[in-house]
Amino acid sequence: MPKRTVPGPLQKLLKFDEKITEKFCLFANKFLPFRELRIHHKTLEITCHGLAWLAGWLAFIYLLSSSKLYEMQVNFLIGLVIDIILVAVIKAYTRRRRPAGNVPDMFMTVGVDNYSFPSGHASRVTFIALFFITLYPLPIFCVPPLLAWVTSLCVSRILLKRHHILDVFGGIILGVFETFILSLLWLSPETCADILSFLSDTDIVDTGM
């Protein structure tokens, strides 16, 4: 791809973002044992990997067939696909490099994963949390763990030097946008059952869960 000219004001914003990100990492590492925590950051990374979620969710749909779950399963899958597509398109367009100091050891990366903006993990974890808080609410006691997951994962993306701070905030905003889009596209239980029946090329067998 040809190299693009970045407008002056945007260049200044990106440089400022790089400096603030570096200062944040240096400050945090004064209080946190980074080497010991790296394994935890890596674990958090895997918990919100796009391909892992996509494969796991398809397996969930296949293994747990229940009319009570069709609406949630299909709508969540649609949101997940929207997230993966939007992140890939935006990354391919912006092509922002990852921060200096990033170790290229991320699990199952493909082409556009080499770029930094927006953070796909941040958008995905935000979407997942908002899905189960607003669109398909789980019991209230599930909310604190979801919010803790969002916070810890977003911070870990910066401390791992996978992303700049602006990348993470961009991902969060994208996750909110995806949730809003899905709320407009939300499919009824009947439509979801029809989709699953069509995709499986057979009648859906309700396991009665």
* Annotated catalytic residue 163: yes
Does residue 160 contact residue 102 with C-beta atoms inside 8 Å? yes
Does residue 14 contact residue 96 with C-beta atoms inside 8 Å? yes
List for the chain the helix, strand, coil content (%; round to 5). 70, 0, 25
User: Which of these is catalytic: 40, 41, 49, 121?
Assistant: 121
Q: How far, in Å, are 30, 56, 107, 126, 152 from residue 103 at the CA level? A: 20, 26, 12, 24, 19
Residue from 158, 155, 150, 153 nearest 176 by CA: 150
| DSSP-derived 3-state class of residue 201 | coil
The tokens of 127 are what? 């979407």
Rounded to whole angstroms, the maximal C-alpha distance in the chain is 60
* Annotated catalytic residue 164: no
Does residue 38 contact residue 186 with C-beta atoms inside 8 Å? no
Handedness of CA 115, 119, 121, 123 (dihedral sign): negative
At which residue do the structure tokens 């069509």 appear? 198
At which residue do the structure tokens 């935000």 appear? 126
Residues assigned a catalytic role: 121, 163
